[in-house]
Amino acid sequence: MENYSNMTKEELLSVLGLTIKKDETNKLITFLCELSAYTERSQFNISFHAPSSTGKSYIPLEIAKLFPKEDVFEFNHVTPQAFFHETGKYDEEKKSFINDLSRKIIIFIDQPHMELLSRLRPLLSHDQKESLSKFTDKTKSGSHKTKNVILIGYPSVIFCTAGLKIDEQEATRMLLLSPEITQEKLNQGISRSIDKECNYGAYQQNLSLNAERESLKQRILAIKNEHISEIIIENPQLVHDTFFTPNRQLKPRNMRDIEHIMSLIKSFALLNLWSRKRNGTVVVANDDDIRDGFDLWHEISESQDLNLPPYIIDFYEETIVPAYEEKNIGGLGDINSIGVTRQEIKAKYHSVAHSIIEEWKLRKEIIPMLESAGLVKQEIDPNDKRTKLVYPLLKLADLHAKREAQSRASESIYEECEI
């Protein structure tokens, strides 16, 4: 049996960067999500939300190429009924179709049916290892017949959608991510596409000859073959002290947050199981795994805390707030301020992103989500009752400072532990 040396985050990112430019946090979390499939119950789920053509499905699909093909299920535009009808073997004793999803990776590509997520809630939240669904099918004669489908196990699920709105119950069951949309990333991505499409054969050959990439693929296969049953954390006190930073205001959703953090920690331990304490199929996560898990969580905690995809937060910070400040010299909180119209927001977005935002998306998705998160309020324009004005309520610099304070507090705890 081959043993693999300890792999750092930087080394992992270097390999992933061969095909995915920038998006360091997104690709690291996505890799760990897919790797977590090879655990008994430590899987976690991701939901990528961003407009079309931003690369939200590219990241999980490209990383999935590193994993054994038989473990990856990709669905494109699948309805809830169609997904549950994608059945496995029929069990005569249970009178049901059995679909075993244990240790599998499921990727929903450009998935428009948010209803599917609500149907999968027991699976996503690990409420029960077996879930029964009943469907009514039409027979050839035109009569109706009940069909039982039993889903078994906890897969790692990645959901990609151009829809930005998400139900709060689903939001807490998944990590909300959005791909970066920066000039630097676009520049590097386009350069990679040129190299790839000019000579696809040479591009693929160079990838297959890359020793580090091939080693990672073999490492993943070896992890799968270890059949790890459980990952325990050696130092729960460090997890406790790092999570409960001074003056932290807890929310109900923090119950889910700590589960996500624990899954990140355990996934780091799984990646380096050969250099961790072992007891048969049980792996022990150490303090380095705890530090890496929390560091990664701090990178995305702001959007998770607000229940908003990062794209929505960026839209608020880069479009709505500047549009408002250009119109109001007094800035946020000025009692004499005037809100911005949706047309002014659209114009500002066009000048910033060099793209167009649809009116319906702004009215039905973005502004209501920001309103629910407490970042904006809407009021009727006193000069035009047909128009609503949008008022931003918070500078996100305050949230950034809070996140940095939590990160510094964590570092202080780590240093104390080392002493």
Question: Which CB contacts under 8 angstroms, 24+ apart, belong to 390-394?
Answer: 390/320, 390/324, 390/339, 390/340, 390/341, 390/342, 390/345, 391/324, 391/337, 391/339, 391/340, 392/316, 392/320, 392/321, 392/324, 392/332, 393/332, 394/332
pLDDT digits 0-9 by tens, 124-168: 888 778 878 777 766 666 667 777 888 888 899 999 887 767 776
Unique residue bearing structure tokens 């010299």 = 329
Report how far apart, in Å, the C-alpha atoms of 378 and of each of 82, 154, 402 are: 40, 41, 26
CB count, 10 Å around CB of 271?
26
pLDDT band at 113 (very low <50, low <70, confident <90, very high): low
Q: What span, in angstroms and rounded, lies between the C-alpha atoms of 143 and 200?
A: 52
Q: What span, in angstroms and rounded, lies between the C-alpha atoms of 282 and 413?
A: 27
Question: What is the structure's pLDDT at 151?
Answer: 82
| Phi, psi (degrees; rounded to nearest 5) at 399 | -70, -40
Q: SS3 of 16, please?
A: helix
Q: Please give the domain boundaries of the chain with CATH numbers for all domains.
A: 9-208 (3.40.50.300), 310-398 (1.10.10.10)
Please check whether residue 39 is in contact with residue 270, taking contact to mean a CB–CB distance below 8 angstroms: yes
Question: What is the structure's pLDDT at 116?
Answer: 75
Q: DSSP labels for 83-123? A: HHHS--EEETTTTEEEEE-TT-EEEEES---THHHHHTHHH
pLDDT digits 0-9 by tens, 309-368: 999 999 999 999 999 999 887 777 666 788 999 999 999 999 998 889 999 999 999 999
Could you give the percent of the chain with pLDDT greater than 70? 88
pLDDT digits 0-9 by tens, 259-279: 999 999 999 999 999 999 999
H or E stretch at 384: strand 384-392
Q: Where are the alpha helices (DSSP H) in 70-210?
A: 80-85, 115-119, 121-124, 168-171, 183-198, 200-208
Bridge-partner residues for 74, per DSSP? 107
pLDDT band at 191 (very low <50, low <70, confident <90, very high): confident
The residue length of the chain stands at 419
